[in-house]
Amino acid sequence: MNNETLKQQNITEIDRICSLSPVIPVLTFNSLDEVLPIAEALVKGGLPVLEVTLRTDIALEAIKLIADNLPDAQVGAGTVLNPEQYEAACEAGATFIVTPGSTTELLKHALTQQVPLLPGIQTISELMQAYALGYKRFKFFPAEVSGGVNALKAFAGPIGDVRFCPTGGIRLNQQQTI
């Protein structure tokens, strides 16, 4: 499969995943005993898209537990920092990958993978770098301290065909499609 096809599939799949849930809970597990009860409750409550951060030693096991036991869940790996973590998350069953920021190495690596990437950006320069590689869907992190909705509106001025999943400091009364 060529890069252009993978780029379009990435956009389509990220759009599909994001459309399944009004918000994406970002989860950090410290005990495997809590994984399935929390994930089941979220899915049952109408939040089938879950991001498990790779901030603990059990994160990959948590992703595998969810992937193996909750067929209605879309479990992604968050806080992915390098291609090795990307690969490990895919092997654990992640259906999407989320990064807090964007390195050229990680952006290019993801373009060779079937599991789509939602790259993190904070600045217009990071947005432009990822956009130049074909990305059009982004995690905006940390959203609130980086300008929130006003920053996203400003980004959309020069680059209007992108969409964002803001994370970090967003409150219910600020939720809107950007």
Residues belonging to the active site: 51, 139
Strand, helix or coil for residue 133: coil
Residue 82 CB contacts under 8 Å (≥ 6 apart), including other chains: 103, 105, 106
Q: In angstroms, rounded to a whole number, what is the distance separating the alpha carbons of residues 2 and 107? A: 16
Between CA 135 and CA 107 the distance in angstroms is 9
CB-based contacts of 23, cutoff 8 Å, min separation 6: 47, 175
